[in-house]
Structure 1
Amino acid sequence: LEALPADVGPSGVLVVGGEALRGEVLEGWRRRHPSVAVVNAYGPTEATVNCAEFWVEPGAVTPVGAVPIGRPFWDTRMFVLDEWLNPVVDGVVGELYVSGVVLARGYLGRPGLTAERFRRIPVR
């Protein structure tokens, strides 16, 4: 958003992703483009493009600090798990895991990397 020229503004929706989005960066841009919805899209490399999104509609208050990554897409689940693959309680730091149809099927010809990045999550 900081790299966008001041006169550039989409007509309806701006989708951002790639790096963590902070409300302090977003706020100035939204003041210049109050009628545009902003979508914070999230997706790790192992997902096909994105797997979750958070919408900031026109007129909504800009989040302070980190803008949430939102909710997972249809037929996708997200878990925050500890080092033993157990769910953590709200407010406890853990690792984000994604499951569902959005995931790649592994890294072609790289079984070691596939085993490292694609874990079986016990169903709870």
Structure 2
Amino acid sequence: MPIDFFHPKNKNSYATRTASPEWKQWVRAILDPRGVNVADIGCGGGIYSRALAEVGAQVTGVDSSPVMLEAAREQSQSFPRTRWVQGSAEQSGLSDGSFHFLLIRAVTHHLRDLSPCFGR
């Protein structure tokens, strides 16, 4: 049964979880995240945005659901290296070339057409 990410009753369904320590170790193993600008596209409740901030990245979380963004903001008050933007994978509203890398996790199965997200 798919979850409705826009319904207030599901607000904290993903916001209160945390990324595993192994995931954060993996990030550190492939890059030095300190001071790196990351866009977390489809950030939901901000689980991986917070994890990236914990390892030193400056993170912009983007999600189409105002409900999920509200939860992300609430759960991330102690994470000053995070900010939140309403947008979609296809139209994030972010400036081209302003990030060192993008995280797009658990998003592609929500898209009908991948071209606007990954194409130019």
Q: Which has more strand, going by share of residues?
A: 1
The structure showing larger relative contact order (alpha-carbon pairs under 8 Å, at least 6 residues apart) is 2
**TM-score bin (small chain):** under 0.3
Higher Cα radius of gyration: 1
- Superposition TM-score, scaled by structure 2 size: 0.27
